[in-house]
Copies of this chain bind each other. A is one copy, B any other.
Amino acid sequence: MALERAFDAQLEDLKKLILVMGGHVEKSVTKASAALLQKDIEGFGEVHEIEKRINEAQIAVDNSCVSLLAKQGPVARDLRLILSIIKINTDLERMGDQCVNVAFTGKDYLFRQSPNDLKDIAKMAELVKQVIKQSLDSFVNRDVEMAKLVLLTDDEIDELKNKVFKDMILTMKNNPQNIEASLDLILIARNFERLGDHATNIAEDVIFAVTGRDIRHGGKYK
């Protein structure tokens, strides 16, 4: 029993660690999008600081997973949870990278002083923050319904990305001086789309961890 309790305690710590990491990602998206929308170039600096903490957390999570799997040989529900955490860890780390991409491109964009409208980018940022929060909440609460919401909201993010692509191509055609800035926004929209995809991956991992059912590649969850 003492061994089991030690296992449960380590697993609880691991869950807390992945949530701290998720919190860093949420903060990074918030900082990156706020810097862009408020034209605050200095604000992007924090995104790079947060990325370091995300990268440190990634290694700590991996080490904890290895330790749990090596020492305990967990089965069934706990094993599914640990496997999900291994994957969620990878997604969160890549979300940190995407925020850094937004910071780099966002900085270029602000220097260009383009008159482009950022309202769809702002909408995307809000939806991305929403799906990240939902995906982490679904993990904490083992909430499959919440995880399914992520998949729906991600469709909205994809639609907005398509809209930004179309609008920016038109802007480029009408105003060739604005080509670089419009391309920046296309790339940022793509970064936000990727952030939504990662949140979707997390939601799918949560559904697998909770139900044991694999809904990737058209597998249905009802």
Contacts and interface: CB of A to CB of B under 8 A. Distances in A.
A130 interface: no
A2 interface: no
A62 interface: yes
Contact of A186 (B72, B73, B183): B183
Interface string A160-181: 0000000001001100100110
Chain A's interface size range is 20 to 34
Interface in A94-138: none
A65 interface: yes
Given A73-B73, A176-B172, A83 B86 contact: yes
Q: Which 9 A-B pairs have the closest CB atoms?
A: A73-B73, A55-B217, A172-B179, A70-B75, A173-B176, A70-B79, A176-B176, A173-B179, A86-B86
Given A62-B214, A70-B79, A176-B176, 15 more contacts: A55-B217, A56-B217, A58-B217, A59-B216, A69-B83, A70-B75, A72-B73, A73-B73, A86-B87, A90-B90, A169-B183, A172-B172, A172-B179, A173-B176, A190-B190
Interface of A: 55-56, 58-59, 62, 65-66, 69-70, 72-73, 75-76, 79-80, 83, 86-87, 90, 169, 172-173, 176, 179-180, 183, 186-187, 190, 214, 216-217
